[in-house]
C-alpha cells in the first residue's frame, strides 16, 4: 500500500518524510486554507522538497468540466511530473476526468462517498479514486466496506485504477485497508505518527537498552 501525507504544512511534511516510508502528498482546498499561503507558492515548495519521485495530488476548484480541464493543465504545468489532478466525482467532474485521462494525464477522482462514484471514475480513466472513509462512517455507513467494495469492483472490471483511501481518523482504519491490499492511503500526519506510537513498544525497547547497559556499562552500544 502506498502511503501519502494528507496535509500541506511543510514542517509536518518534512518531519513525517524523515521517519516514515512516504510516497507522496495530497491536499484539498480546506487543507490549503489552513496554511493561509499562496497555493502555488506553497505547492511548489512541497514539490521541491518531496522531489519528482513522489506523488503530489492537487484538487481543482471549478465546477464546469472545461474549467476543471484548464485548471488541471495549469496544475500539471506548474507542479510537473508525478502530479495528480484531483477532480470531484460529480457529472462535470466525470466529463473532465474522461478528457484529461484521454490526454494521458494523471487523474484522481475525489469526494467519493459511494461505490458507484468510485467505479465510474475508474471507468472514466482516473488512476486513483479516493473514498472518504471517516466521512462515510459519519453518515452512518461503513467507510472501510465502501473502500473495499470499490477496490473489488475495479479489480473485477480489470481496470488499472487503484483506491487511494482518504479521510482517516484512526490507525485501525488504515490497518484494515492495508491488510486488504488497497493501493494507497492518504493520512494526516498525526494519524501516521499514531500508527506505531505505543507505550508497550517503547517499554520493550527501553528494557533491551537497560539490559545491554547492565552488561556493558552506561551508554554502551554495539559500536
Ligand atoms: C483527500 O482526498 C480528502 O480531501 C481528505 O482526506 C478529506 O479528509 P477529511 O475528511 O479529514 O477532511
- Could you read off the pLDDT of 129-188 as tens digits, one per residue? 999 999 999 999 999 999 999 999 999 999 999 999 999 999 999 999 999 999 999 999
Q: SS3 string of the chain?
A: CEEEEECCCHHHHHHHHHHCCCCEEECCHHHHHHHCCCHHHHHHHHHHHHCCCCEEEEECCCCCHHHHHHHHHHHHHHHCCCEEEEEECCHHHHHHHHHHHHCCCCEEEEEECCHHHHHHHHHCCCCEEEEEHHHHHHCCCCHHHHHHHHHHHHHHCCCCCEEEEECCCCHHHHHHHHHHCCCEEEECHHHHHHCCCCHHHHHHHHHHHHHHHHHHCCCCCCC
Question: 199 in a domain, yes or no?
Answer: no
Return the pLDDT at 77.
98
Give the ligand 1 atom nearest the CA of 169: 11
Residue 181: its pLDDT value, please? Answer: 97
Whole-structure pTM over 0.90, yes or no? yes
Residue 41: what pLDDT?
98
pLDDT at 86: 98
> 162: domain range?
2-194
Q: Which pLDDT does position 137 carry in this prediction?
A: 97
d(CA 83, CA 166): 17
Q: How many domains does the chain have?
A: 1
Q: Is 102 inside any structural domain?
A: yes
CB 32 near ligand 1, within 6 Å:
no
Residue 6, ligand 1, Cβ within 6 A:
yes
End-to-end CA distance of the chain: 35
Residue 32 lies in a domain: yes
Q: Is 128 in the pocket of ligand 1 (CB under 6 A)?
A: no
pLDDT at site 15: 97
CATH code, domain with 118 = 3.20.20.70
C-alpha grid cell for residue 114? 459511494
- Residue 164 CA, closest ligand 1 atom number: 2
| pLDDT, mean of residues 9-18 | 98
Can you give the pLDDT at residue 158? 98
Distance CA 149, CA 38 (A): 38
Kindly give the number of the ligand 1 atom that is closest to the alpha carbon of 130.
2
**Per the domain annotation, does 27 fall within a domain?**
yes
Nearest CA residue ID for atom 11, ligand 1: 167
Q: List the catalytic residue out of 34, 74, 86, 148.
A: 86
Report CA Rg, the chain.
Answer: 20
Return d(Cα 6, Cα 132) in angstroms, integer. 12
Residue 208 lies in a domain: no
Q: Residues 77-109: pLDDT tens digits? A: 999 999 999 999 999 999 999 999 999 999 999
Residue the block writes with cell 473514498: 131
In a domain, 207, yes or no: no
* Ligand 1 neighbour 28 (Cβ under 6 A): yes
Q: Which residue has the cell 485521462?
A: 101
Whether 64 sits among the annotated catalytic residues: the reply is: no
Q: Quick one: pLDDT at residue 222?
A: 96
Look at residue 203 and tell me if it is in a domain: no
Instruction: Tell me, using a 6 A CB cutoff, whether residue 71 lines ligand 1.
Output: no
- Our answer on whether the CB atom of 173 is closer than 6 Å to any ligand 1 atom is no
* Rounded-to-integer distance, Cα 150 and Cα 126, Å: 13
**Mean of all residue pLDDT scores within the chain:** 97
Sign, CA dihedral 26-155-100-87, equals: negative
Q: What is the pLDDT of residues 186-219, one digit of tens each?
A: 999 999 999 988 999 999 999 999 999 999 999 9
How far does the centroid of ligand 1 lie from the alpha carbon of residue 167, in Å? 4
Please give the grid coordinates belonging to residue 65: 468540466
**37 domain-assigned:** yes
Amino acid at each position: 500500500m502506498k502511503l501519502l501525507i494528507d496535509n500541506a504544512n511543510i514542517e509536518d511534511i518534512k518531519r513525517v518524510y524523515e521517519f516514515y516510508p512516504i510516497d507522496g502528498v495530497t491536499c484539498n482546498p480546506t487543507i490549503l486554507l489552513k496554511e493561509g499561503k499562496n497555493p502555488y507558492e506553497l505547492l511548489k515548495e512541497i514539490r521541491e522538497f518531496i522531489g519528482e519521485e513522489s506523488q503530489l495530488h492537487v484538487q481543482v476548484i471549478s465546477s464546469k468540466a472545461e474549467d476543471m480541464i484548464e485548471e488541471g493543465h495549469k496544475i500539471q504545468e506548474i507542479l510537473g511530473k508525478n502530479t495528480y489532478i484531483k477532480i470531484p466525482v460529480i457529472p462535470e467532474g466525470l466529463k473532465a476526468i474522461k478528457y484529461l485521462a484521454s490526454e494521458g494525464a494523471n487523474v484522481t477522482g475525489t469526494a467519493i462517498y459511494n461505490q458507484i462514484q468510485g467505479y465510474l471514475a475508474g471507468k472514466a480513466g482516473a488512476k486513483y479514486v479516493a473514498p472518504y472513509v471517516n466521512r462515510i462512517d459519519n453518515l452512518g455507513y461503513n467507510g472501510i466496506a465502501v473502500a473495499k467494495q470499490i477496490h473489488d469492483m475495479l479489480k473485477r472490471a480489470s481496470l488499472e485504477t487503484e483506491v487511494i483511501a482518504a479521510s482517516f481518523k484512526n490507525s485501525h482504519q488504515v490497518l484494515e485497508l492495508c491488510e486488504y491490499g488497497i493501493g494507497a492511503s492518504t493520512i494526516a500526519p498525526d494519524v501516521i505518527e499514531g500508527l506505531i506510537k505505543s507505550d508497550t513498544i517503547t517499554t520493550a525497547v527501553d528494557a533491551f537498552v537497560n539490559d545491554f547497559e547492565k552488561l556493558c556499562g552506561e551508554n554502551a552500544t554495539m559500536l
